[in-house]
Amino acid sequence: MRAEADAIIVTNGTQQALELIARVLITAGDVVAVEEPGYRPARDLFASLGAQVVGVPVDREGLVVDLLPAKARLVYSTPSHQFPLGTPMSLARRAALLAWAQRQDAAVIEDDYDSEFRFSERPLEPLQSLDTTGRVLYAGTFSKTLLPSLRIGFLVAPPTLRSALRAAKQLSDGHGQIATQAALARFMDEGQLARHIRKAARVYAASHAAILATMDAGLADQLELVPSAAGLHMTTRLRRGGKAVDGVATVDKVVAAARERGIAIESLASYCHDAPAQAGFVIGYGAIRSDSVREGLARFGVLLRRENAAS
């Protein structure tokens, strides 16, 4: 992705980037489209500012553009690695989304939250690179590549919105964490960030492979793995007899029992706002050793089989 320095606004994480965009582009009552299932903090933020938030389904190619509400002023998307399903948006769907935004005079947020960690194919071009009409606002963060407590993110803005976004940033917090930003800039200039990402990617690739192997070997009859080749989590859907099932209650019981045994997993339903909720698990492996991932999955498998047998 290419961007001149004037296009970049440094933020206190992605959440502030989303808030700046929302304050500039939407007013109470405006329609904002988000992915369903999707990133709940983004939905909650837009709703807190008075927006009418509408969930739009996601399929194997990403956000279903044909189902976007015609009145949407803003679309929030995670095209590189859909959160939480993990599927990338296809090139055809990306082109369709940009064409839709131009027709409807809408803006698109591209939240690229963890695409630095990829384990197979070359990533598709970002929406921002494909955009020729200034519709895309690209938001990124260092909390995934470095550490969650590092509240530094960035926003790449089209020319027509830069002045307004800078003014909103100035009103929000002035200038952010200058000393931390300077340290991070030096870290990047010296090539340390690139080296860190390469090293971390090897570790996460091992964890990713461990999850794939465990699913194939012992849990394929219990769970359907949603294909994903990037990021720090994987998503599965509950199934029985080879078919996906509506077992949200079963998932909730397994999640609760796992937490009692020191295993942190999440229910896919917690990322679903619109009915029906999807029954599945979100399995994160960030900052966890691959051998711990294997041990946790083994315990998780025992709990899952026990609960499925009981129900």
The residue among 149 and 84 whose pLDDT is bigger is: 84
Alpha-helical runs (H) found in 105-143? 127-130
pLDDT of res. 245? 60
pTM of the model: 0.91
- Tell me the mean pLDDT in the region 280-309: 86
Q: How many CB atoms lie within 10 A of CB 194?
A: 12
What is the arithmetic mean of pLDDT over 19-48? 96
Per-residue pLDDT reduced to its tens digit, 47-76:
999 999 999 999 999 999 999 999 999 999
Q: Distance between CA 57 and CA 55 in Å, rounded?
A: 7
Q: What is the CATH number of domain 194-310?
A: 3.90.1150.10
d(CA 31, CA 13): 24
In the chain, % of residues over pLDDT 90: 59
CATH of the domain spanning 5-189, picked from 3.30.565.10, 3.40.50.2300, 3.30.160.40, 3.40.640.10:
3.40.640.10
Residue ranges of domains in the chain: 5-189, 194-310
pLDDT band at 241 (very low <50, low <70, confident <90, very high): low
For 153-211, what is each residue's pLDDT tens digit?
999 999 999 999 999 999 988 878 899 999 999 999 999 999 999 998 888 888 888 88
Indicate the average pLDDT of the chain.
Answer: 90
